[in-house]
A and B are shown apart, each in its own frame.
Chain A
Amino acid sequence: MAGKPTANTRLSRLNENNTGKHLLSANRAVDIRIIVCVLLSVLAMVVDHRYHHLETVRNVLSTSVYPLQSLIQLPLETGHWFGKRFASHETLVRENEQLRQKLMFTNAQLQKLTTLEAENRRLRMLLESSVNLAVRAGERVLVAELLTIDLDPYRHQILLNKGTHHGVKVGQPLLDERGIVGQIIHASLLSATAILITDPNHALPIQNNRNGLRALAGGSGNFKELEILYVRNNEDVQIGDLFITSGLGGRFPQGYPVARVTRVEFDPARPFARITAQPTAQLDRSREVLLIIDEPQTGNTPNADERLADGQP
Chain B
Amino acid sequence: MQVQQPGGGIILLSFIVAFLLTIIPLPLWVDRFRPDWLGLVLIYWCMAVPQRVGIGTGWLMGLFLDAAQGTLLGQHALALAVVAFLTLKTYRRIRVLPLWQQSFSVLVFLGLNQLLVFWINGVIGYPPRDFWYLGPALGGMLFWPWVFVILRDLRRRFHIA
Contact = CB atoms under 8 A, between A and B. Distances in A.
Contacts of A44: 72-74, 77
A171 B117 CA distance: 26
Contacts of B24: 72, 150
Contacts of A221: 129
Contacts of B89: 30
Nearest to A159: B70
Contacts of B85: 30, 33-34
B125 interface: yes
Contacts of B154: none
Contacts of A201: 125-126
Contacts of B64: 61, 64-65
Contacts of B9: none
A86 interface: no
B151 to A, nearest CB: 15
Interface residues of B, number: 46
B1 interface: no
A157 B128 CA distance: 16
Q: Is the interface of B mostly helix, strand, loop or mixed?
A: helix
A65 B14 CA distance: 15
Interface residues of A, number: 43
Nearest to A36: B55
A45 interface: yes
A154 B74 contact: no
Interface string A143-165: 00000111111110101000000
A138 B82 CA distance: 53
A37 B69 CA distance: 20
B63 interface: yes
Contacts of B51: 26
Contacts of A93: none
Interface of A: 1-2, 26, 30, 33-34, 37-38, 40-45, 48-49, 54, 57-58, 61-62, 64-65, 68-69, 71-72, 148-155, 157, 159, 185-186, 193, 200-201, 221
19 contacts: A2-B95, A2-B96, A30-B85, A34-B55, A34-B82, A38-B78, A41-B81, A43-B74, A44-B77, A45-B74, A48-B74, A62-B67, A69-B23, A72-B23, A72-B25, A150-B22, A150-B23, A155-B70, A200-B125
